[in-house]
Amino acid sequence: MNNILKKLLLFAVCAAVFALFAADAQEAGAQQSGGVIKGTVKSPWLARYQAVVYVDRVEGQFSPPKENLHMSQKGLVFDPHILPVVLGTTVDFTNDDTVAHNVSSPQGSAKVFNLGLYGVGVTKTVTFDKLGEVPLLCSVHPEMSAFVIVLQNPYFALTDKAGNFEIKDVPPGTYQLKVWNEKLQEASQSVVAEQGKPVNVEFKDLKKR
């Protein structure tokens, strides 16, 4: 084979590989696009206590993340304070502190557990296999508090300090959008998610728990 022919062949192979990659990237982009649900939860409590805004039920089964999520204990504080997870998610509870802790959840939680007293540098895990609210407690330090919120699907968002939220890539459809907040009663309203047409939602007059 002469040199020019070799170069032409190499060029053709490169062009074909590039075309395949480009097609793949385009397909992945198309799969990810969906509706955007955004808006505000209006309550003075939101400046201090984040809310979780979530789509209550979406058709289909949603896998939990392959990697465990993380709840740290450091300086006698759980971090993050609120951890929304998809059903089936496993969470690592690490003791990154200078003292021992005993993480548990009370009776009536969506997941009742007690990890026992454990020391610095130790990690224990919990799999959240039922939908709902799981308050976290430490029997050594009554001031320690956090929440795991177990959800059916990954279409949720935490609010910022102004109460704003944005949920992306929601499959088109009509849903119940719900608000969870530790100080407020649950609120709910119907929303329609459409591709390429963001929907704006406002929650107000939420009642104290």
Binding site for Cu ion (CB under 5 A): 101, 138, 140-141, 144
The label of the residue with tokens 């050594």 reads 140
CB of 125 or CB of 188, closer to Cu ion: 125
CB of 47 or CB of 99, closer to Cu ion: 99
CA distances from 209 to 48, 63, 144, 174, 182 (A): 16, 32, 20, 28, 8
CB of 15 or CB of 99, closer to Cu ion: 99
Please return the burial class of 158, using the count of CB atoms within 10 Å of its CB with bins 0-12, 13-18 and 19+.
Answer: middle
Min dist. Cβ of residue 84 to Cu ion (A): 22
Measured at CB, which residue is nearest to Cu ion? 138
Min dist. Cβ of residue 181 to Cu ion (A): 24
* CA 163 – CA 159 distance, rounded (Å): 5
Min dist. Cβ of residue 106 to Cu ion (A): 15
Around Cβ 122, how many Cβ atoms within 10 Å?
13
CB of 73 or CB of 159, closer to Cu ion: 73
Min dist. Cβ of residue 136 to Cu ion (A): 10
| Element of type H or E holding 176 | strand 173-181
* CA 197 – CA 195 distance, rounded (Å): 6
